[in-house]
Amino acid sequence: MTAVLDRQAAPVASPATGIRPPRRNRRGGSRDAASRPSGLVAVNGLLIVGSAYMILPLLWLVFAVSKTASGLFDGNAFSFGGAFLQNLGRLVTTDDGIFLRWLLNSILYAGIGAVVGGLISVMAGYAFDKFAFRGKRFLYGAVLIGVLIPNTATVIPLYLLAAASGLTNTIWAIIIPSLCNPFSVYLARIFSAGYLPAEVLEAARVDGAGPIRTFLKVSLPMLVPGFVTIALFQFVGVWNNFMLPLIMLQNRDLFPTSVGIFLWQSQAPQNPEFSTLVIAGSFLSVLPLLVAFIFLQRFWRAGLSAGSVK
């Protein structure tokens, strides 16, 4: 009995203070001391590498747009030059300001593809989620298959269809394919299924609203943040599209910035002065994307049901 009483008691948490002994992992060490430092180093290291991969090219572009053709290949890459205004002036005056036309073409193609194409995708995703109709599973399976097919694989079939319809070398050859995006339809169905309760639609039906009125007055306002997200994806996708306009268009006046800059880049080996036009054009072509993200990011943080309350 004495030996049992003399044995050292294990630490027990006091009910008054709530102090517990430190938890130990299987190796006997403290869990925080064993795993936190290496985990923080690994995570922070990956974040630093990923940030550098995304930021350094844009940072180099900011410095390069201020340099002359000879300065692009001499000296420090991350240093400012003194030809920023000169390069922008040459950009907007070369070939009677053809780059400004290319920029307006890109805004037209991407704007229509984002707004109209985003609305079509939202309606299709809403229909796949809320309605029951014959062939629904087969059609949605076709949409998922379309998500897996890269866009470059569809360029030649689209060109053959456009050639048979007489739409090549027109703006419709770029706009019409941008109105249907399988990935946007998939995203719209996810938004509709996750953030549009069936009780809200049932209440609208009880109040006498038909399917079209229910979508326009109740569902669409609740899906505005999702629509903005899809529209941004559409805008970036159409803006960066290169293969489709390269195949479809022959008229320089219809080129977007991606094809126009490529045209100048192909002439840079023979004339190094075109390299400054390529850099300045790339710099200006990034600005509309930044503006779109800055002004529309507030919709991502807004409540997805704010539209129905209003």
* Distance, CA of 16 to CA of 19 (rounded, Å): 8
Predicted local confidence at residue 267, as pLDDT: 87
Predicted local confidence at residue 112, as pLDDT: 95
Locus of tokens 């509309």? 288
* Distance, CA of 103 to CA of 285 (rounded, Å): 7
Name which of 15, 78, 90, 28 is nearest 281 in CA terms: 90
End-to-end CA distance of the chain: 76
Q: Delineate the domains of the chain, giving CATH numbers in brackets.
A: 104-268 (1.10.3720.10)
- What is the mean pLDDT of each successive set of 10 residues along the chain, which is 310 residues long? 44 48 50 62 88 87 85 76 86 90 94 94 93 90 91 91 92 92 92 85 86 88 88 91 93 93 88 87 90 77 44
Name which of 309, 176, 292, 140 is nearest 228 in CA terms: 292
* Distance, CA of 64 to CA of 83 (rounded, Å): 10
Q: Is 24 helix (H, G, I), strand (E, B) or coil?
A: strand
Angle of CA points 175, 232, 100, to nearest 5°: 60
Sort 223 into a burial class: Cβ within 10 Å, 0-12 / 13-18 / 19+.
Answer: buried
Q: Which residues pair with 24 in a beta bridge?
A: 30
Predicted local confidence at residue 15, as pLDDT: 47
Angle of CA points 262, 264, 266, to nearest 5°: 70
Predicted local confidence at residue 293, as pLDDT: 83
* Distance, CA of 152 to CA of 170 (rounded, Å): 19
Predicted local confidence at residue 57, as pLDDT: 86
Cβ count near 266 (within 10 Å): 11
Residue 300: half-sphere exposure toward Cβ, Cα within 13 Å: 11
